[in-house]
Amino acid sequence: MIVVVMGVAGCGKTTVGQMLAARLGCGFSDADSFHPPANVEKMRAGIALGDDDRWPWLAALRRAMDGWLAEGASHVVACSALRQVYREILSPAGEPKGTVVFVHLTGSPELIGRRLRARQGHYMNPALLESQFATLEAPEDAIVADVGRSPAEIVEDVLHRLP
């Protein structure tokens, strides 16, 4: 099983994803590490990525997911996965149900904006948060978790709701 912890920048995907992977005893990857350098520079400059920027990134991430699945390894991935079409790349039709599970971290723009502005050492420009919320298409089939709770509480909730 691959668990994709998704949501807008600053919602806690990496923190929750790392904690969840530790509890599941499996690997963790941050999808940001699959971005080509040009995408990172755009985001650092406050330029929102378009679909043409995202397709190669999502394809690289899906190849990694295919590798983990072929090995029979569970894995947790932190990935924005903001649009349904992106999630369809990460979990294509015809794949057995439960192979890829999405966990959608949600919260108010105000709360997440405060967290994003306080974050140190990350290239994501806080000015892009508004475009992330505008792009977000909430999934209908994800485990939804409110980021107003502590990461430990979120992880416990998710663990009880995984298939």
- Which CATH number does the domain housing residue 81 bear? 3.40.50.300
Paired strand residues for 100:
2
**Per-residue pLDDT tens over the stretch 80-136:** 999 999 999 999 888 998 999 999 999 998 898 888 777 665 555 556 678 889 899
pLDDT reported for residue 18? 98
Q: Where does the chain have alpha helices with state H?
A: 13-24, 37-44, 51-71, 84-90, 109-118, 129-135, 151-161
Question: Which helix (H) or strand (E) covers residue 144, if one does?
Answer: strand 143-146
The answer to whether 23 and 155 have CB atoms below 8 angstroms apart is: yes
**Per-residue pLDDT tens over the stretch 67-83:** 999 999 999 999 999 99
Count of domains for the chain? 1
* Domain limits for position 69: 2-161
pLDDT above 70 (res 56) = yes
